[in-house]
Amino acid sequence: MYVCICNALTEKMVNRAIEAGAETPDQVFKACGGERTCGRCVPQMEQMIAGFQVLQGCGTCPFRTLEEVAPRVAEAS
Ligand code: FES
């Protein structure tokens, strides 16, 4: 599934950038070789980044990848 249509960034590509250390949508764009154009994808990227940061802060959480937690974050929002 595409997160950013303008840059053809898939969910997997964005997750990889976040797991590699991107903490803002602009850092995700940079890591993926894209750039912010229309900005429609930014709220979803921010949600993905926040979900990853929640994971990092929970030492007892059994979920360790964004693919595992993404459906739960989507359910909660
Ligand atoms: S959808 Fe990502 S910049 Fe347009």
Instruction: Report the first-to-last Cα separation within the chain, whole angstroms.
Output: 18
Task: Check residue 71 and give its pLDDT.
Answer: 76
Q: Which residue has the tokens 């990092």?
A: 56
Q: Dump pLDDT digits (tens) for 21-75.
A: 999 999 999 999 999 999 999 999 999 999 888 777 666 666 666 677 677 767 7
The ligand 1 atom at the shortest distance from the C-alpha of residue 39 is 3
What is the 54 CA–ligand 1 centroid distance (Å)? 24
**4 - beta bridge partners?**
9
48/26 Cα distance (integer angstroms): 13
Q: Whose CA is nearest to atom 2 of ligand 1?
A: 4
Does residue 6's CB lie within 6 angstroms of at least one atom of ligand 1?
A: yes
DSSP characters over 24-40: SHHHHHHHHT---SS-T
Task: Check residue 7 and give its pLDDT.
Answer: 97
